[in-house]
Structure 1
């Protein structure tokens, strides 16, 4: 069995608060100190947060959506996960005054430990931190095994913890890890039985979505369709069900159906770069040039200041625009090409000297000449 490292005592935990508002730091620090936590560091922007994470391993991170000056909290949380600063065993608390459906869906995808709505109430913060610390201590070994992809061992710990009466409040979380572990182990029939039994006790979104997933993994289409139709009517399951169905149809190479579904999911959580990337690829497979253009524009918009932000995203928008232009009316095509030419000038100004972009930009300019019926100039440039 995997060796589980000792968990830190509370007074040795490292905590990072990332927020642009001084009042938030004051409220949270006071609550942490009352809980016996002394090692607290603050960051008022993403740059400082990442610099601190590069030198300190934090056990708890509180991160606001509205981080000032550089990145928003969603992009920052994504980057911290990508760089390994945040693990499954890290307690992550997302803070936001914005509770719009699109943002909440995107945050849920990042799987924070908790989501707090600002402004914060100090007495409630103190109570919630005490609860979270207790949960983290109890579930440390289970989460550690799941993070290390030791799914069989994770199930072993989970089943033992389900027998512990003091953990009754945490049983839904423990059961959720068991279900995900069974799916990851490809024990689909066992996962189906497990989720079916849970539906007798719980009405949580993840239970029904997990059951639908187990049906789809076994190609039990009738059972899956009946369930997913119902789940698409529920606000708390709609988002995850769209993703589940898109993944299934793509795996079956039914790209048209997968494309239709993933477009609906993208409307619910437009910030997901991976989903927009899948939408772009599926639009290409379905010869939807307008869809390609929309997906590349979404990626460029939501990747700004994130780990995904590269000039290649701008190139993809430009290429998609050139592909789209011939399908439009003369006036609309001219307008789109004129906008694309402005985008190219900006791109050349920023990155034109870069060897890896110079040739690609040249080819794009030749394509534009060709689209304007300027064949002679295009041939000359090509030479």
Structure 2
């Protein structure tokens, strides 16, 4: 360790374990550090960083109080509290794969697994601090969003042979700056030139981003699939692939990618939010509910822990309950209420009365108390439309539609749509609002009422009407095997009776078969399915 360098450094240690803190104190002092501050909570760390300029932060990943080190560093990065020229180092005794993936994904300057020696600390921290010092002028310009000037500075840095030791990190920074300046074609050529010399993972990922931006999607996908098999680039590859699939509106495929990545690195809240949005678009109510629950689970005590995420679990639970049988619906309502109680306990002063009325009205509807649900919705104020969250307005629209107030529902969706344009909401949310508006314009009944009516029509022998109603139900519940089986049966009977146009019938049959084959059927459903397959075979 360069003694002259470290004596100029100010260090912050964030750890709530007394023995670990003592060992770090001893180790850092052995290396020559003299100005060292210690805190044991994330909130104290944030205050310290905002008060004092630190050159090095050593943070325990597994903080027990308040929030994990993961969310502390995420907050520091998102709010840009710490300059790029300062070093952030994680230490952790837990090296489980999900934690390692989470840490690597956040890209701290270094990660040390406990236990480590003074020599380990010396070797790893020395290199980080030397790099930060070597590129300090570039990082300072980047901190001030002066990307064009930073690009010129990194070019100057790369032209000096004395800096050869830091060329790899400087080249990586140059690629990031080219993209920040939106010199995409130049960035593509740069990354390709790097790969031709040495196949750095960061250069391949940068090239993929350029290819997607330039609509060279086939080449991008080919490279992404290669990167998905490398541990160091797996998560980034899944994110890029899901972005590519979203670009092409292949939302089912994108959801599969996001869920896979979420399993690998479960603490990434943004990815769970994307899973939530995609599952709504694909009408995967179970996945939507699971994603909402995971957001609450991993957001606990972090900057993401807000009343809205608990409300969203309850809303997702109601959405899911609307598509299931009464027994399952009752269990989902209970879970929704459990999360609402958690919210009230965690945020006792939260002003959520209007949102709670909407959720309560939807639950009343599920319990066949439609008149009570309408009466509760009548109590809602129209004055909060401009201040309520889009999720709250969306739930209000669904509640109106549930109880048969279609025009009220569409009016709320108009407000949401206008706010999406004004506020430039995420494309996924905007797609979902358009989808909701289309479906609620075409279909007057709730998912629950649709299936009940279709079954009644089918049992009454009204095949034409039941086929139409089952089709509407399947449109909003395409993952529901019971709906798919009902539609398949009605389609087969109608086809046999009328010998209709197979060009329009075959795609419906194919989709229904996909849903049914990927689900677990009850014994009764399995018997019905085998009978319907026999009919289809005879008609083929």
TM-score (norm 1): 0.90
Q: How many Å apart are 1:79 and its aligned residue?
A: 2.4
Q: Secondary structure of 1:299's match?
A: helix
Answer yes or no: is the 8 Å Cα contact 1:44–1:68 preserved in 2.
no
Please, which moves more after superposition, 256-265 or 285-294? 256-265
Post-superposition Cα deviations, 1:220-248, rounded to whole Å, max 9, x if no partner, equal: 12322221221122222221111112223
Map 1:219-238 to 2 at 5 A. Answer: 219-238=215-234
| Pair 1:193 & 2:189 matched | yes
Answer yes or no: is the 8 Å Cα contact 1:81–1:87 preserved in 2.
no
Q: Which residue of 2 aligns with 1:139?
A: 135
Q: Secondary structure of 1:236's match?
A: coil
Answer yes or no: is the 8 Å Cα contact 1:28–1:125 preserved in 2.
no
Q: Which residue of 1 aligns with 2:353?
A: 358
Q: Secondary structure of 2:51's match?
A: coil
* Aligned counterpart for 2:75 among listed residues 64, 76, 79: 79
Q: Secondary structure of 1:306's match?
A: coil
| Pair 1:369 & 2:348 matched | no
Answer yes or no: is the 8 Å Cα contact 1:92–1:113 preserved in 2.
yes
TM-score (norm 2): 0.65
Please, which moves more after superposition, 208-217 or 22-31? 22-31
Larger Rg computed on CA atoms: 2
How many residues align? The count is 375
Distance 2:163 2:31 in 1: 21
Post-superposition Cα deviations, 1:136-181, rounded to whole Å, max 9, x if no partner, equal: 1101112222232322222222223224344333222111111111
Post-superposition Cα deviations, 1:259-287, rounded to whole Å, max 9, x if no partner, equal: 33222222222211112112212222222
Answer yes or no: is the 8 Å Cα contact 1:351–1:357 preserved in 2.
no
Map 1:149-160 to 2 at 5 A. Answer: 149-160=145-156
Distance 2:320 2:176 in 1: 41
Which 4+ stretches in 1 moved above 6 angstroms?
none
Distance 1:318 1:306 in 2: 20
Q: Secondary structure of 1:235's match?
A: coil
Distance 2:299 2:260 in 1: 20
Distance 1:191 1:83 in 2: 27
| Pair 1:49 & 2:45 matched | yes
Q: Which runs of 5+ in 2 are unaligned?
A: 379-540
Q: How many Å apart are 1:9 and its aligned residue?
A: 6.2
Change (3 A) 1:381 1:190: closer
Q: How many Å apart are 1:348 and its aligned residue?
A: 4.0
Q: Which runs of 5+ in 1 are unaligned?
A: 1-7
Q: How many Å apart are 1:40 and its aligned residue?
A: 0.6
Answer yes or no: is the 8 Å Cα contact 1:35–1:129 preserved in 2.
no
Q: Which residue of 1 aligns with 2:245?
A: 249
| Pair 1:60 & 2:56 matched | yes
Q: Secondary structure of 1:313's match?
A: helix
Answer yes or no: is the 8 Å Cα contact 1:182–1:190 preserved in 2.
yes
Distance 1:344 1:27 in 2: 43
* Aligned counterpart for 1:204 among listed residues 195, 200, 203: 200
Post-superposition Cα deviations, 1:77-135, rounded to whole Å, max 9, x if no partner, equal: 12233444322122100111222332223223322111111112112212333322221
- RMSD after superposition: 2.3
| Pair 1:262 & 2:252 matched | no
Distance 1:140 1:62 in 2: 20
